[in-house]
Structure 1
Amino acid sequence: MNRYGERRARLCAQMQPGAVAILPTAPEAMRNSDSEYPYRHDSYFYYLTGFTEPDSVLVLVAAQAGQAAQAILFCRQKSVEREVWDGFRHGPDGARAAFGFDFAFPIEELNKEMARLLANAPAVYYALGHSAALDLQMKTWLQAVRCQARSGVTAPTVAHDLLVLLGEMRLFKDDFEQVLMRRAGAISGAAHLRAMRASKPGMFEYEIEAELLHEFRRSGAQYPAYTPIVAAGANACVLHYNANNAQSRDGDLILIDAGCELDSYASDITRTYPVNGRFSTPQRLLYDLVLAAQSAALAAVQPGRRYSDIHDSAVSVLVQGMLELGLLDKTVYGNVDNAIAERAHLQFYMHGTGHWLGLDVHDVGAYRDVHAEGKPSRPLAPGMVLTVEPGIYVRPAAGVPEQFWNIGIRIEDDVLVTPGGYSILSEGAPRLVADIEAAMGQR
């Protein structure tokens, strides 16, 4: 059984005996006129199938007494004519053989087969409320089953959110996924290093972005995992800046938040560096503060520690530095605990310190232990992959030392939780001031 078949079997084992799960892939989307956006399959669907063609639906039937579990794919038929225009199609028979499904049917037979598959099933699993089109289709299928009531056929009476089960499965990366994500991190790290070495005052942000994209594709990554952020100077204080069209100036810091997608798995790295190759004193003071915050956060990445410990550790270091550097007034807040209680740091650090990472950049999986009283932050465990990304963003404001104005810094790495602690997947991108300046000295 292949890895996708193993995942399907694990999912079916968690379902009610005889229940049916339905999971369509993502639809194609038009960009303009008759031009489509590059197609990207649904991550949940891909996780269970490895199948990347559009117009596809996976149906699983959980085992019950006297009947083994079934995995059924609905997909586009083979078409010599369409393959001339659009490329290879597996077709139902080819997909069944290549991906290990028990049965495969043309997508045109979905409605007919669903009326059969849902008949007498005790429950149905699908993405409840995530798609109006799927909700409507489900209503149509159930109505078709109910029309058979005079023949003694019953429709499912219970619906479960399939994505809850799949989110928990996807949260823990197996060995194959870890290898892919480490490779994605290495490609992205090399791209950040290339961008550093190419940068010089006067370059436009999009010129630096082009260096990233070149390295991604040259190294085999299919896409950026998200729209890259290349922010010079004050633009780095805009968290989701992505216009990438400003010209850098001598003395600017460049903040790059960019990662590639390799075989559907994302990387997500942020580095901040001086475009002229040398940090000024104010820039270095803030950079070293963010780096210290990241070090504290990384120390909290241990099996059994709470996910929230990562953020709390970073915030404690950042707030101490904000008080020492005069960003926060000691006479007003007194100490770190008081400043945090007053949420004073939100002026300069307003986001969390990370997120899950995997098939999606902001990957799925609960951040809280939903089975524990009070739903506390969940404990970390081996196989989880997350980002650790503290930052500081200083906009001009009354009472804020002018030497720090318009400095935005974030340092982000991809981190695998291991039995003994953690492993950084993105080490190829320099983080230390000395390493950054040395790398840029090789331009």
Structure 2
Amino acid sequence: MQQEYAQRREQLMARIGKGTAVFRSAPMAVMHNDVEYNFRQDSDFFYLTGFNEPQAVVVLAPHHEEHKFVLFVQPKDPERETWTGYRVGVEAAKERFGADEVYPIAELDEKLPQYLEKADRIYYQLGRDRPFNDTILKHWQRLMRSYPKRGTGPTAIEDPAPTLHSLRQIKSPAELELMRTAAAISVDAHNRAREFTQPGRYEYEVQAEMEHTFRLRGGMGPAYPSIVASGANACVLHYTENERQMQDGELLLIDAGCAYDYYNADITRTFPVGGKFTPEQKTLYEIVLKAQLEAIAQVHPGNPYGQIHDTAVRVIVEGLMELGLLQGDIEEIIKEEKYKPFYMHRTGHWLGLDVHDVGVYQHGETPHNLEPGQVLTVEPGIYIAPDIKPVEGQPEVDPRWRGIGIRIEDDVLVTSAGHEVLTAGVPKAIEEIER
């Protein structure tokens, strides 16, 4: 993979020209008191280096004569490593990660200026790490004060995200291999969950079965908090309590995916706890499945990203109108978003190193057209909460529909010929999931 990381750095440096890019590692997050969460590296930092330790900085200076790729890392410290784990250290980092130079992180203030002083701008994302923001601003302001005497130095700070994230959006063969593995593990976990589910079991038991599969198969664990939502809980989009006992006659909505070597899968399936849909559940499920299949059919190079959502919305609105849950002119319903009490989210998102991965969805008023190598989710749904309140002018919802929530989600790769559903191994046709 080191060749892959080097190629990514070269691509970014070619785009920033005479600038210098600076990236800070993710901070350690505290769970409670002095107990920390497992460390998860910042995705941009990891994408460029593969380096998986905190307290680190990467500098890319394509204009520098000797050091174009520089790392600042924690030095070896046997006493601290006894408590918090092994560190790569300064000497080994240079060899293992291919840096032109590696310094202890304590030397950042001293060494950083030499990589900034001849840059025309600093590429840095001012954001979450306020102390490090202050460090960058301090060095920039110091160089700006001496600019009149030298005539060189960074005259601006520019966010590298638009440049870097356009690279991250197109997945390489190596990235796709990791995403296929994450998808395959997640497929197995979902299939196990469906087999395991039965009335009387608890949502957390299903969650445990899935997350056991994630780790057993070599995954890092859940890509995001697993959603295991039975009955009316399925109408809560990000329900994560997973505490309820499942009952016969209900649906179970599972939204869960595995993280594998930092790359993620994201799958949702909805199926009957007792094995058979009720007539109302089956009718709504058929609408959502049709919306998803027709939306997936829109995934091919050159198609506007927004067409996926527009297609799903139209199918859902048509289906709800046939059932009398919406009424009026279909174009008006769509334009004024009168369907939102039933379907309140978009139909998907980019997927990769982040579950909601980086990349634009449109350029101002200009749509973003799909390109080969992009991976996205397609996830329409219908949610009829027990206390649903339709918009003004729409009918009241008959009680027989209330408390039903359905979502179906797959991970889809844009290919040169069209698309590939990476998570097709989890059944979703009614005849395949009923028992």
Same fold (TM over 0.5): yes
User: Alignment length, in residue pairs?
Assistant: 427
- Superposed, 1:17-166 pairs within 5 Å as 17=18, 19-63=19-63, 67=65, 70-145=68-143, 152=150, 154-166=152-164
> The residue matched to 1:195 in structure 2 has which SS?
helix
- Give the TM-score of the pair, scaled to structure 1: 0.93
1:127 CA displacement? 0.5
- Superposed, 1:357-372 pairs within 5 Å as 357-368=351-362, 370=363
Measure, in 1, the Cα distance between the counterparts of 2:23 and 2:346. 31
> The residue matched to 1:180 in structure 2 has which SS?
helix
Measure, in 1, the Cα distance between the counterparts of 2:319 and 2:293. 14
1:83 CA displacement? 2.6
1:129 CA displacement? 4.2
Contact 2:61–2:69, Cα closer than 8 Å, also in 1: yes
Contact 1:356–1:387, Cα closer than 8 Å, also in 2: yes
- Change over 3 Å in CA distance of 1:238–1:159 after alignment to 2: same
- Superposed, 1:11-410 pairs within 5 Å as 11-17=12-18, 19-63=19-63, 67=65, 70-145=68-143, 152=150, 154-329=152-327, 333-334=328-329, 336-368=330-362, 370=363, 375-396=365-386, 397=388, 399-410=396-407
- Change over 3 Å in CA distance of 1:168–1:69 after alignment to 2: farther
Measure, in 2, the Cα distance between the counterparts of 1:409 and 1:146. 57
Is 1:9 the counterpart of 2:10? The answer is yes
Q: Which sits farther off after the overlay, 358-367 or 139-148?
A: 139-148
1:82 CA displacement? 2.5
1:339 CA displacement? 2.1
Letter in 2 for 1:288: E
Letter in 2 for 1:253: L
- Change over 3 Å in CA distance of 1:15–1:68 after alignment to 2: farther
> The residue matched to 1:183 in structure 2 has which SS?
helix
Letter in 2 for 1:255: L
Cα-to-partner distance string for 1:94-132 (whole Å, 9 max, x where unaligned): 111111111111101111011222223221101134543
Measure, in 1, the Cα distance between the counterparts of 2:302 and 2:370. 5
Contact 2:67–2:101, Cα closer than 8 Å, also in 1: no
Measure, in 2, the Cα distance between the counterparts of 1:208 and 1:130. 35
Q: Which residue of the partner structure matches residue 436 of structure 1?
A: 433
Letter in 2 for 1:243: E
Q: Which sits farther off after the overlay, 204-213 or 398-407?
A: 398-407
Contact 1:326–1:401, Cα closer than 8 Å, also in 2: no
Structural RMSD (CA): 1.7
Contact 1:58–1:74, Cα closer than 8 Å, also in 2: yes
Measure, in 2, the Cα distance between the counterparts of 1:90 and 1:341. 56
1:154 CA displacement? 4.7
1:133 CA displacement? 2.7
1:346 CA displacement? 0.8
1:52 CA displacement? 0.3
Letter in 1 for 2:405: G
> The residue matched to 1:23 in structure 2 has which SS?
strand
Measure, in 1, the Cα distance between the counterparts of 2:401 and 2:131. 50
Contact 2:190–2:426, Cα closer than 8 Å, also in 1: yes
- Unpaired runs of at least 5, structure 1: none
Contact 2:27–2:55, Cα closer than 8 Å, also in 1: yes
Measure, in 2, the Cα distance between the counterparts of 1:342 and 1:60. 48
Q: Which residue of the partner structure matches residue 413 of structure 2?
A: 416
Cα-to-partner distance string for 1:367-408 (whole Å, 9 max, x where unaligned): 11x3xxx53220001000000000000124562132211100
1:147 CA displacement? 6.8
